[in-house]
Amino acid sequence: MRALIPFVTFALAALPAAAQDAEAGGQLYIDFCAVCHGETARGDGVMAEVLRIAPTDLTALSSAGDFPTLRVAEQIDGRRPMLAHGGDMPIFGQWFQGDGADVALPGPGGQPILMSRPIADLVTYLQEIQP
């Protein structure tokens, strides 16, 4: 067991640093998400009434327990498409690729989930607006 501790320490140190810039994420939210999800993130954006499927209330993402970090990141980058208005929710992954250096955010149980810095910032913002 003792031989494993230096390896684990090295492995964790090799992970990219966590990006937690909720202010930058909030600006991304206003620029890309608020038109559908609303300025208060409750699903009441100006486009909400013309969508076939109502936008999610993003302030309720943690209502069933832990914040679904992986599911939210996959929704934003397009790995988990959502049908809305007869087609896919806009996939912003191409705009949120950042500088190509992934960062880690803790997921359920603390395991790191890698994503681009802009997506991590947006996810961090969404975590902060949970009640």
Read off the pLDDT band of 127 (50, 70, 90).
Answer: very high
d(CA 54, CA 72): 17
Task: Answer yes or no: is pLDDT of 54 > 60.
Answer: yes
- Which amino acid makes up residue 72? V
35, 32, 60: which is closest to 122 by C-alpha?
32
Amino acid identity for residue 20 in this structure: Q
Cα distances (angstroms) measured from residue 121 to each of 5, 48, 52, 53, 79: 31, 24, 29, 26, 18
Residue with tokens 């031989």: 3
pLDDT-derived band at 91 (thresholds 50, 70, 90) equals low
- For the stretch 25-44, pLDDT in tens is 999 999 999 999 999 999 99
Tens-place pLDDT, residues 58-84: 999 999 899 999 999 988 887 776 655
CATH fold of 18-128? Cytochrome Bc1 Complex; Chain D, domain 2 (1.10.760)
Return d(Cα 40, Cα 59) in angstroms, integer. 8
